[in-house]
Amino acid sequence: MKIFHEAHGLDRFPIKIASIAIEYSRNVFPDAPITKVEGLDLSAKFEGMLLPHPNRNGEWRIIYNSSITSKGRINFTLGHELGHYLLHRHLSFAVPAATCWIGNQSTARSRLRRTRSLRSS
Instruction: Give the pLDDT of residue 69.
Output: 92
| pLDDT score, position 11 | 66
On the 0-12 / 13-18 / 19+ scale of CB atoms within 10 A, 80 is: middle
pTM of this prediction? 0.68
Per run of 10 residues, the mean pLDDT along the chain (length 121 residues) is 65 83 95 95 88 88 94 95 90 48 48 54 46
pLDDT at 50: 92
pLDDT, residue 102, reads: 38
| DSSP H stretches of helix in the chain | 2-8, 17-28, 71-88, 105-120
pLDDT of residue 110: 57
pLDDT at 14: 80
Q: Residue 62 has what DSSP assignment?
A: E
CB 34 within 8 A of CB 22: yes
End-to-end C-alpha distance for the chain, whole angstroms: 53
Asked if 30 contacts 88 with a C-beta cutoff of 8 angstroms, the reply is no
SS3 52: strand
* Identity of the residue numbered 65: N
pLDDT on residue 97 = 44
